[in-house]
Structure 1
Amino acid sequence: MFTNRSRLSSWFLTAILVVFGGHGLTAQSNPFTVAGSVKDTKGNALVGAHVALFRLSETTPAFNTSSAADGRYEFKNIPKATYYLKSFMLGFRPLKADSVVISTTSSPDGVYDVVMTEATLGIQAVDVVSRKQTIEMQNGKLIFNVQNSALSAGSSALDLLRRVPGVSLGQDDQIMLKGSSGLNVMVDGKMTYLSQQQLVQLLKGMNAENINKIEVITTPTAEFDAAGNAGIINFVMKKNTQDGYSLDIRSGVSKGKFWMVNENITGSYRKGRINLFGSIDFNTPHSNFVSTSGNSFFENGQPIIIRRENQNPLKIKFYTYKAGIDWQLSTKHRLSVGYNGYFDDFVKDNAPSLVKRYDATGQLLGSVRSTNYLAEPYHYDATNLSYTYKIDSLGKQLTADAHYISYRNYSDGVLKSSFQDATGTQSAPDERLQSHQPGTISIQSVKMDLVLPYPAVTLKAGVKFAYVTNDNRYSFDSLRDGRFIEASSMSNHFKYNEKISAVYGSGVKKLGKTSLEAGLRLESTVAEGYTVKQAVANSWNYTKLFPSLSIDHELDKNNKLNFSVSRRIDRPTYASLNPVRWYSDQYFFYSGNPYLKPEMAWLFSAGYTLKEKYVLTVSYSRHTNYISKRLVVEPGTNAIVSQIANFDKMERLDVLTSIPISLSPLWELQLTTGTSYTSYPIPLLNGEKTFSKWAASAMLNQQLKLPGGLNFELSLSYYSSELWGIYLKEGIFLAGAGIRKSFYKNKLDVRVSFNDFLGTNRYAGKSLTDYTDYQYYDKPDTRRVGVSVKYHFGGKLQSNQSRRIEEQDRL
């Protein structure tokens, strides 16, 4: 095979090269050198790309190596022969350069630069010059590109979610994806591990200008955790991988009811095999909403009508910090250590509430005035250790990750209530209820993943184990005769522990223009919740299989199809299992439900992409033990209890279209429409009734290039009435606009935004069950103007290879 060597020794040496990733054979008598660089389509150097030389008629590499930190590779002492060059890297399309040959007539040295294309179906892989479409479809994922949006100034990640197709927000900003709250939210591929309440606070504190794109994965494959019946939303943050230092300093201010500021410093340094990065962010995402609601009940056999007015001014100081290091130990081994955390200093500052009681004729009977003070500092710390071993030059790779997450919540509140009769005269002694609700959650997780690409099929496999503990000892004290006495019926101690073990395997095969990925995940859950006072123990012990299948077919270069199916599970969040109470006023409170069961679902999705920019998707899901909100009336007090509960089943059909329209080189539009059908039974006093509802949405995003380098953006969104748990939610219209301009060769970026400038955003709905006729109308403080200024020093920003796990999303 090789010059002056026996066939047996050639086979032996070739095997050593393939298994151990050697740098080629040495033959000092041969002077030929082949060198070059490996870059992506944007000109960024690719580190660790595998480059191999093959003899013209052979499929086993004669020489191989990996690109260095600057993307360079080199082969020395190459024997005279004819070769072709191939390059491999995970996440990129393998490249075979047939025209690159080294022959006996070549000069002693050859330079061959390699440009690799990302392994995606979207426009990113083939078009890096023109502006990205706002909406793209890539390998079954719906991608919402936001990195250059002028609307991001003074905006949060939660504001961006309002513009993502299929996403809607309900009362208390609860996030719904295609009618279900059972979704996983990731940041750079890592689970956030937060309850809905804290997830909302995190997204309010995350500045939109740090986000590159938002990915919506409706049918995740087996390599993802099986949790999340609605699918996965992944926030991809801005990052880059060039050598040198980089520093971004940003300052922003916005004004709604309150003045809000955002200060951020993000930096990185990369030299050789070391990549350092970090950021500090201070944000004040204050908010306020005015709410009116009402319901009726029977008291002493007489109907009583309640009318409620609430204000919720929330003052928040949100600190986020991140640091890490990536160390390329060698071309095959990389070690990463990362830390990220936040401190959420949350205060509800004496929120006023007025509850008026009427009789059946509308005659005022009396009123209750309350003020609600709540201080909830949240502490979140997460550390992770990641190791990557590139087994050979063909893309075989082993990764191992370990996580430790600590979450602490120290909540103290005081609810003061005074009572008046119809004339305004005090009718009963004032009441004062104070609460102390400290809670701690810890998560430990380890996982390993293996990728084995072969010519016929690419195999993936992995294992994972996670252990979670939750401890919340909460107490309520009532003021009686000048002394606080424990309200024993409301005080308790909730403990919870959970172990999840998982193993998965999948395979990817290319058959002509069709790509198949089939996988199977096995997850075993052992969990126990214990309510100490009542000695109530609830345990779950179940093992489930979660298959997945994805098929991509390219009819031609302009027409592509995708079909996918997967089975998913939605485990109750730790907060929703905890029976602790959160009072709004004497007649309304939120409470956990320790009797929740996991929700199971089958998700189906089909997609069609025309010319890599026109997108049509159809998805269908069927859920059992559907988890959503319900309302009940507490016996003896007639207070409304809002909690998460299991419904029997739910079916959902969604059709989404995305159409980009270019009116001129200076004026581009993106029209996205959605149609959905939802059906599930709602419990009534006598049995249950199945409710069904068609709903529609439409979003129009316009981008105009104005004189003077100004970029103007206008976004209009409409959502019709739809089902939401126990509620029928009213429709909504939103409008936002922004202007962006760059100075000094794009180093200085200035953005001005006008969010909800028509002031039309509100959450309104009514209960569909005859348990109660509760209805609400909430007006959030989203009408804001924001200004942001960012200056960039040095090269491009770096980012580590982040990892995430599922349990963190259920804090």
Structure 2
Amino acid sequence: MNKMITLLTVAAFSSLAALAQKAGTLVTGSVSAAQKPVEAASVGLLRAKDSAVVKMAVSDKAGLYKVENVNPGKYLLVVQAVGYAKQYSGSFELAAGSTSYTAPEVQLKAAEKDLQSVTVTSKKPFIEQKLDKTVINVDASPTNASASILDILEKSPGISVDKDGNISLKGKQGVMVMMDGKPTYLSGQDLANMLKSMPGNNLEQIEIMTNPPAKFDASGNSGVINIKIKKNKIQGFNGSVNTGYGQGVYAKATNSLNLNYRNGKFNFFGNGSQNYNKGFGELSIKRNFRDAATGNILSNFDQAARNDREFSSYNYKAGVDYYMNQKTTLGVVVNGFINKGSEFTRNTTLINDNNGMLVTRTQSTNNVHLDFKNLGLNFNLRHVFDSAGTELTADADYVHYSNLNTQYLNSSFFDNAGLPKANDELLRGLIPSSISIYSGKVDFSTKLKGDVKFEAGVKSSYVETDNDAGYANWNGSQYVTDVIRSNHFLYKENINAGYINFGKQLNKKWAAQLGLRTENTNIKGNQLTTGQTFKRDYTQVFPTLYIGYTLNEKNQFAISYGRRIDRPNYQDLNPFMYFLDKYTYQVGNPYLNPQFSHNIELSHSFNGFLNTSLNYSATNDIIQDVFEQVDSTTTTYVKKSNIAKRQNFGISVSAGFPVTKWWRTNLYMNGNYNKFKGLVNGGQVEVDGSNFVANMQNMFTFSKGWGGEISGFYRSRSVEGVLVANEMGAVNVAVSKQVLKNKGSLKLIVRDALYTQKFSGYSRYQNVDLTLRQIRDSRVVTLNFTYRFGKGKITQPRKKNTSVEEQSRVSGGGGN
């Protein structure tokens, strides 16, 4: 770990030292066509002597652009926009000491060109900081080519993924994960398994919103992560194919195909991917059982488990857009996945008395087979009423999940002499689950008098889950139902919501946005096996407020406030047990309540590259993992509980800048302080602590199509509810080469090169005293190849379809 910290620190300070010596000229200008401004034009600043790209900019709605901190020298501009011919400016020279330069207006002309003739070879920055969100441009990092979506999220600024696949943003859990503006409908381990199975080369951008506006669901107390899949706007037939092979301790492989055909009023698109992943995990747990009165150790457990897992997954998506006329577009999309796999765990548990003498050795094997399937259908409509921005969008979604989880847990018991101590136990679990989701949404936006932007919408969703856990014990001749462990749980949920949102640019310096969202929730739960039922109905209001202030060209400030809700995941409400071994399991809690939070964030952007934010949140009835211990049976289990109130204070700093013409750096640092206070297992618990997280990407562009990257992350010791997690991090290295006339690319990647991505931690409160350590097959060397094919004509882009924003809470069954 020390080697990794040293490497990251030296690289970070080298980058900042180089930046401190930089100061240059501000180059501004405008782009137009047919006497109208051109928005989203790509403006490249080229070195005059060799046309090498020095910096990039994008024009705004007024056609204006600016390129900052340009060194003295001779330059020219190249301007490209969708549907227009590439245009070069004349050369110009920036003198030493100059502070600003206004370039002549660039006038574009419409053109019909081949796909190859309008290929933009310059790269977007890896991280873009905008007023309301942070944007990660995935293609800008070579190590993303063979990584899964979960790997890419893990190294994105402010995002952390814990040992169980739970995603945190700026030190806070409760993130709503969406894909193309639509919910993933998954949570916890099921969400992690899906994101692991999806190759990162299909990604275009990741949008991170820590305080989303009222248009988005109030779900997710720490914000929204929107994963945007690549889209194609090329007339004709085109696509890409990607294949990669990785080798850690075990082999891994990814293959994907993207196809697009657009002709006239129709656009057909489809993509599919196959992912094979074989890996391992090693988990060790040490537990002390103490006398409740004296605190003296009565016995201790020393557990060591080895898990070998093998998964094959297939993801698919297909759809068609029909451009009925210039104002109306209809679309339909079908997508889904098929995940099949198995896990085999060998577990040894040593039970010692208070003198350290071995009392019992338990040998267990846990054989699990998973069959997880998903089918989703989306129908969407978009109608534009006028050129002023008045439009109506509507979406209807149906999503269905089915999961069959089969488990065989075999336990054998021996005394300290190695002789059988009790009869073997064989437990079988048949755990099917079914989830159906129906959702509809309508959104309307327009401009009111006084140039006020008005948005309003309504949404309704209905969810049904059917989970049946059938456990049976082998009696020597047949399986007999285990009535204590078996359960059948039905859950129904209806959420109805409406929102309004107003936004206005008050003057040149001030802007404001105010939103209000109301959500009505109705839920029913029924444990058929035990006859227990529950019903809850509640209505909540969620205001949002944003104020922006532009001090000058280099300094912009923003402050935002939002009230959020985090409803329990369906998996966490499910009261089933899932076993690691006889002594360790997890269990759901059907009586969980939602948690509510108030979030405030103050942000500052300096000169377009340095972004700083201060944030504070206060959360009531926080939902956290709790370790509970049954001393009489020497068992420990994990379940979610509303354990406490939490206060979180945080500060984050990000900077992206070129160190040299061939080296660009992105740095992100986040520090936060968490304080938990509440009742756990009937006793008062107060835990607090601070932690530090840093991400770094160094991207290198060399001649003749060569490129490279050194990236990594570091997370210090942190408090996660009643669990204290020790420091962890990783370093990734990549080399890339453009081949086949830039239609193909080869990339060699080494992820977690120093093999430091290892989790360890402890939990000590009341009668709970345990430490744990976990490692996995994280150091992987991968060779990846991508090839792009097809010809076509680029068409003017249309606005992305708005889709349903439903909370990512669905689970396909027990996780592990």
TM range (shorter): 0.7 to 0.9
Matched, 1:469 2:445: no
Any residues of structure 2 matched to 1:559-708 within 5 Å, and which? Answer: 559-634=555-630, 636-681=632-677, 683=679, 687-708=683-704
By how many angstroms is 1:173 displaced? 2.6
Write the deviation string for residues 726-779 of structure 1: whole angstroms up to 9, x where unpaired.
201001121111111112332101111100010111111111322311211001
Any residues of structure 2 matched to 1:329-408 within 5 Å, and which? Answer: 329-348=324-343, 350-408=344-402
Residue in structure 2 matching 1:510, options 501, 505, 508: 505
The answer (yes or no) to whether the contact 2:426–2:474 under 8 Å persists in 1 is yes
Unpaired runs of at least 5, structure 2: 1-33, 44-60, 63-81, 85-104, 112-119, 812-816
CA distance, structure 2, for counterparts of residue 285 and residue 112 of structure 1: 49
Matching residue of 1:781: 777
Moved more, 304-313 or 180-189: 180-189
Residues 744, 715 of structure 1: alpha-carbon distance in 2 compared, 3 angstrom cutoff:
same
Residue in structure 2 matching 1:205, options 174, 197, 211: 197
CA distance, structure 1, for counterparts of residue 420 and residue 290 of structure 2: 23
AA in 2 matched with 1:442: S
CA distance, structure 1, for counterparts of residue 171 and residue 39 of structure 2: 42
SS at 1:774's partner residue? strand
Matched, 1:310 2:310: no
Matching residue of 2:188: 196
Residue in structure 2 matching 1:143, options 135, 157, 179: 135
Write the deviation string for residues 431-454 of structure 1: whole angstroms up to 9, x where unpaired.
100000110010001110000123
Moved more, 630-639 or 517-526: 630-639
Residue in structure 2 matching 1:553, options 541, 549, 567: 549
CA distance, structure 2, for counterparts of residue 436 and residue 382 of structure 1: 25
Matching residue of 1:441: 435
CA distance, structure 1, for counterparts of residue 403 and residue 803 of structure 2: 24
AA in 2 matched with 1:565: Y
CA distance, structure 2, for counterparts of residue 520 and residue 684 of structure 1: 35
AA in 2 matched with 1:717: F
CA distance, structure 2, for counterparts of residue 706 and residue 296 of structure 1: 56
By how many angstroms is 1:686 displaced? 6.2
AA in 2 matched with 1:377: D
By how many angstroms is 1:396 displaced? 0.3
The answer (yes or no) to whether the contact 2:364–2:409 under 8 Å persists in 1 is yes
By how many angstroms is 1:147 displaced? 1.3
Max Rg structure: 1
By how many angstroms is 1:557 displaced? 2.2
Matched, 1:176 2:168: yes
The answer (yes or no) to whether the contact 1:136–1:615 under 8 Å persists in 2 is no
CA distance, structure 2, for counterparts of residue 250 and residue 801 of structure 1: 27
TM-score w.r.t. the length of structure 1 is 0.83
Residues 473, 541 of structure 1: alpha-carbon distance in 2 compared, 3 angstrom cutoff:
same
CA distance, structure 1, for counterparts of residue 464 and residue 250 of structure 2: 38
Write the deviation string for residues 179-203 of structure 1: whole angstroms up to 9, x where unpaired.
3321100112111010211110111
Write the deviation string for residues 471-509 of structure 1: whole angstroms up to 9, x where unpaired.
111110011132211110000110000110001001111
Residues 492, 389 of structure 1: alpha-carbon distance in 2 compared, 3 angstrom cutoff:
same
Residue in structure 2 matching 1:491, options 486, 494, 501: 486
Matched, 1:416 2:410: yes
Any residues of structure 2 matched to 1:744-755 within 5 Å, and which? Answer: 744-755=740-751
Matching residue of 1:28: none
Matching residue of 1:241: 233
Residue in structure 2 matching 1:276, options 259, 268, 275: 268
By how many angstroms is 1:425 displaced? 1.2
The answer (yes or no) to whether the contact 1:617–1:655 under 8 Å persists in 2 is yes
Matching residue of 1:803: 803
By how many angstroms is 1:805 displaced? 2.7
SS at 2:713's partner residue? strand
CA distance, structure 1, for counterparts of residue 495 and residue 204 of structure 2: 32
CA distance, structure 2, for counterparts of residue 302 and residue 42 of structure 1: 68
The answer (yes or no) to whether the contact 1:614–1:659 under 8 Å persists in 2 is yes
The answer (yes or no) to whether the contact 1:463–1:503 under 8 Å persists in 2 is yes
Matching residue of 2:319: 324
AA in 2 matched with 1:323: A
Matching residue of 2:22: none
Matching residue of 1:57: none
AA in 2 matched with 1:601: S
CA distance, structure 2, for counterparts of residue 481 and residue 375 of structure 1: 23
AA in 2 matched with 1:716: G
Write the deviation string for residues 537-571 of structure 1: whole angstroms up to 9, x where unpaired.
12221000000011222222222112111111001
Write the deviation string for residues 271-316 of structure 1: whole angstroms up to 9, x where unpaired.
1221110011100133311111121226999812000001111111
SS at 2:277's partner residue? coil
Please report the RMSD computed on the Cα atoms of aligned residues, expressed in angstroms. Answer: 2.6
CA distance, structure 2, for counterparts of residue 682 and residue 665 of structure 1: 54
Residues 745, 508 of structure 1: alpha-carbon distance in 2 compared, 3 angstrom cutoff:
farther
Residue in structure 2 matching 1:739, options 735, 753, 761: 735
SS at 1:147's partner residue? helix
CA distance, structure 2, for counterparts of residue 497 and residue 415 of structure 1: 31
By how many angstroms is 1:528 displaced? 1.0
Matching residue of 2:259: 267
The answer (yes or no) to whether the contact 1:682–1:691 under 8 Å persists in 2 is no
SS at 2:201's partner residue? helix
By how many angstroms is 1:42 displaced? 4.3
Residue in structure 2 matching 1:218, options 200, 210, 231: 210
Write the deviation string for residues 644-690 of structure 1: whole angstroms up to 9, x where unpaired.
11122111111111123433111222222111111112545663132
CA distance, structure 1, for counterparts of residue 548 and residue 36 of structure 2: 34
Matching residue of 2:754: 758
Corresponding residue pairs, total: 707
AA in 2 matched with 1:217: M
Matching residue of 2:6: none
CA distance, structure 2, for counterparts of residue 564 and residue 727 of structure 1: 31
AA in 1 matched with 2:476: D
AA in 2 matched with 1:496: Y
The answer (yes or no) to whether the contact 2:687–2:722 under 8 Å persists in 1 is no
CA distance, structure 2, for counterparts of residue 41 and residue 112 of structure 1: 10
AA in 2 matched with 1:728: V
The answer (yes or no) to whether the contact 2:257–2:272 under 8 Å persists in 1 is yes
Matching residue of 2:92: none
The answer (yes or no) to whether the contact 2:395–2:802 under 8 Å persists in 1 is no
Residues 618, 136 of structure 1: alpha-carbon distance in 2 compared, 3 angstrom cutoff:
farther
CA distance, structure 1, for counterparts of residue 454 and residue 121 of structure 2: 34
TM-score w.r.t. the length of structure 2 is 0.83
The answer (yes or no) to whether the contact 1:185–1:809 under 8 Å persists in 2 is no
Matching residue of 1:727: 723
SS at 1:281's partner residue? strand
Matching residue of 1:167: 159
Structure 1 runs of 4+ aligned residues shifted over 4 Å read 34-40, 111-115, 128-131, 298-302, 795-800
AA in 1 matched with 2:736: R
SS at 1:172's partner residue? coil
SS at 1:670's partner residue? strand
SS at 2:625's partner residue? strand
The answer (yes or no) to whether the contact 1:38–1:71 under 8 Å persists in 2 is no
CA distance, structure 1, for counterparts of residue 83 and residue 128 of structure 2: 29
AA in 2 matched with 1:596: L
